[in-house]
Chains A and B, each alone.
Chain A
Amino acid sequence: MRGLLIKDIRLLGQQKKLLIMYGAMAVILGYSMDSTFLVSYFPMIGLFLVLSTIANDNFDNGMAFLMTLPISGKLYAAEKYVISILVTIGTWICAVALQFVMLNIKHEEFAVANQLVQDLMFVPLFFLIIGLMIPMDLKFGTEKGRLVLFAIFGIFMVLVLGGKAVVEFLSKNAGLDVQGLLDSIKAMPGGMVCAVLFGVVILLLIVSIVLSIRIMQKKEY
């Protein structure tokens, strides 16, 4: 896996201009906007840059050569999760550090623990994106993968709106106490909500990894 990690890090290193621009934007946005935005934006861009290495590997039929190196499809898929998670966590830590610096520069009052829990809520979202995008990109290629992902989001939105309609119907006609349910979720401590979210997303990541490994094992080049 070390070889693949070095390859991807070197590939990212070749996009120096993009990385510098991205860092500069993070500082400007962090100063001018709500500092929480920085914590969502910074790792998200990093994540998309890492995922672009899949497109890069596929470019010019490059996967055929990669698969002649001492690796397997399984290892290739696993490495994409490892580097995506590493970059997400790394950029998240940088973003949080930058956020704290910005909050201090702007003399804004904040409680470190509360802010951290709030920032931590973004991490499951990033993991969810990793879990959805890697198998899509591996199966359909980056361009088609994005289209399939949009289609999935479309279906998801339809399900959410449908679900909302069902809940509204049940609350009116079957006496379902929606407000009470929402209040009890709100009453849960932030840390617990975070832990539940992490648990769900990690389960999803495991399913995604298994799926990606199967996709890679079936592929021909």
Chain B
Amino acid sequence: MIKMKDLQKKYSGFDLNITMEIPEGTVTGLIGKNGAGKSTTIKSVLGLIRPDGGEITVLDKVPQEFTAQDREAIGAALSDSGFSMMLTIKDVIEILKSFYKEFQEEEFRRLCKEQDLPMDKQIKDFSSGMKAKLRVITAMSHNAKLLVLDEPTAGLDVLARNDVLDLLRNYMEEDSSRSILISSHISSDLEGLCDDIYMINKGRIILHEDTDTILGKYGILKVSEEEYASMDKQYLIAEKKDKFSHTCLTNEKQFYLDNYPNMVVENSSIDDMIVLMLGGKEK
């Protein structure tokens, strides 16, 4: 669905250089701190910016050469952009109907009703959660093969976030050939949704792993100075030194469980990974 090879984009004080591949039928998460390059990556996929180098194809086409028909196969939701705030959902329905041949009006109305989105109210009077839900429902409204979502859950409370994630899960269940690229800095959102995760930092991909592998094989080791000095460090990915101890991230949790029975080994969440890989010292 999406292939990027050494994709480059330079701004003053920031340069992006990434390689990624998103196959058909997968949900891929892109995580990283604010300013890491997530939105630049998403914009490159949508053809909103021109790359300075490298290669990118989306649905076998270069985004800059997308025709209207190509764009119909993509549903997009951007965190800081959407339909004019002056419009109502009724207006949005008429607009989408005339843009997309496959606009599913009944389904769109059903989802809006299910999520308590009012038809006649101007979007400017919606809460942040309602606006975010409308953006996602709009992206899903025309049977797109690929959804590209930039921070669709940013600024939402936990209930609204779950609603948005449920919408996406249902979308994937309807057709297994669909793909989603979703960026977020709230990694817990991605754990239960994504098949694989790319971690981006300062414009570079620093980790690509299946979510199951991250949750199953990665672990957090909490070790004293003495334990740290004597332990085998070949499976450590990142570490952070505290006052009297070390917190380490490993991609072979079982190795330490087997060989160091007294060591504190905890399951790792994506949040732990971010803290250690982006806040600690990479090995």
- Residues in chain A near residue B43, CB distance under 8 A: 64, 220-221
When the two chains form their complex, are residues A6 and B76 in contact, meaning their CB atoms are under 8 A apart? Answer: no
Interface residues of A in 51-95 (CB under 8 A from B): 56-57, 59-65, 67-72, 75
Distance of A183 Cα from B228 Cα, bound (Å): 100
Are A68 and B98 touching (Cβ within 8 A)? no
Q: Which residues of B contact A220 (CB under 8 A)?
A: 43, 48-50
A199 interfacial contact with B, CB 8 Å: no
8 Å CB contact of B78 from A2, A13, A68:
A68
B86 touches A11 (CB 8 A): yes
A10 on interface, CB distance cutoff 8 Å: yes
Q: B95-107 interface mask toward A, CB cutoff 8 Å, 1 = contact, 0 = none?
A: 1101110000000
Is A3's CB within 8 Å of the partner chain B? yes
Q: Does A7 contact B (CB under 8 A)?
A: yes
Smallest Cβ-Cβ distance to B50: which chain A residue:
A220
Query: Quick check: is B252 within 8 A (CB to CB) of the other chain?
Result: no
Is the C-beta of A179 less than 8 angstroms from some C-beta in chain B?
Answer: no
Of residues 151 through 191 on chain A, the ones whose CB sits less than 8 Å from some CB of chain B are: none
Determine whether B94 belongs to the interface, using a CB cutoff of 8 Å to chain A: yes
A14 at the interface (CB under 8 A from B): yes
B135 to chain A, nearest CB (A): 8
Does B87 sit within 8 A of A, measured CB to CB? Answer: yes
Please report the C-alpha to C-alpha distance between residue A62 and residue B85 in the assembled complex, in whole angstroms.
Answer: 9
Q: A62 is contacted by which of B72, B83, B95, B148 (Cβ under 8 Å)?
A: B83
**A2-B98, A221-B49 given; A69·B71 CB < 8 A:** yes
**Distance of B118 from chain A, by nearest CB (Å):** 15
Main DSSP-derived SS at the A contact region: helix
Residue numbers in A under 8 Å from B262 (CB-CB): none
- Kindly list chain A residues whose C-beta atoms are within 8 Å of the C-beta of B72: 70
CB contact under 8 A between A65 and B74, given known A2-B98, A10-B91, A71-B68: no
Point out the residues of chain A lying under 8 angstroms from B99, CB to CB. 3, 69-71
A52 CB to closest chain B CB (Å) equals 11
**Given A68-B78, A70-B99, is A10 in contact with B87 using a C-beta cutoff of 8 Å?**
yes
Whether, in the assembled complex, B35 has its beta carbon less than 8 Å from a beta carbon of chain A, the answer is no
Bound CA span A63–B94, Å: 19
Q: Is chain B's binding surface mostly helix, strand, loop or mixed?
A: mixed
The bracket for how many chain B residues form the interface is: 20 to 34
How long is the Cα–Cα vector from A69 to B66 in the complex, in angstroms?
11
B81 touches A64 (CB 8 A): yes
Contact for B85 among A15, A59, A68, A75, CB less than 8 A: A59
Indicate whether B230 reaches chain A with its CB closer than 8 angstroms: no
The count of chain A contact residues (Cβ–Cβ below 8 Å) is: 27
A65 to B71, CA, bound (A): 12
In the complex with contacts A6-B95, A11-B87, A70-B69 CB distance below 8 A: yes
Interface residue ranges of A28-68 to B (CB < 8 Å): 56-57, 59-65, 67-68
Q: Tell which of A7, A15, A65, A71 touches B81, judged by Cβ atoms closer than 8 Å.
A: A65
Bound complex: CA of A2 vs CA of B98, how far in Å?
6
Contacts of B94 in A (CB 8 A): 6, 10
Pairwise interchain contact B71-A61, C-beta atoms closer than 8 A: no
Q: At the interface, yes or no: B115 with Cβ under 8 Å from chain A?
A: no
Residues of B within 8 A of A15 (CB): 86
Q: How many angstroms from the CA of A56 to the CA of B91 in the assembled complex? A: 15
Most chain B C-beta atoms within 10 Å of own C-beta, residue among A6, A56, A59, A71:
A6
Within the complex, the shortest CB–CB distance from B131 to chain A, in Å, comes to 10
- Asked if B87 contacts A14 (CB within 8 A), the reply is yes
A111 to B96, CA, bound (A): 48
Q: Which of A85-138 contact B (CB under 8 A)?
A: none
Q: B66 — which chain A residues lie within 8 A by C-beta?
A: 72
Contact (Cβ within 8 A) A60 B48: no
When the two chains form their complex, are residues B85 and A65 in contact, meaning their CB atoms are under 8 A apart? no
As a 0/1 sequence over residues 202 to 221 of chain A, the CB contacts with chain B under 8 angstroms (1 = contact) are: 00000000000000000011
- Beyond A3-B96, A61-B78, A75-B68, list 5 extra A-B contacts (CB 8 Å): A10-B91, A64-B81, A70-B100, A71-B71, A220-B49
A positions within 8 Å CB-CB of B: 2-3, 6-7, 10-11, 13-15, 56-57, 59-65, 67-72, 75, 220-221
A-B contact pairs, 7 of them (CB 8 A): A2-B98, A10-B94, A11-B86, A14-B87, A68-B71, A72-B66, A221-B43
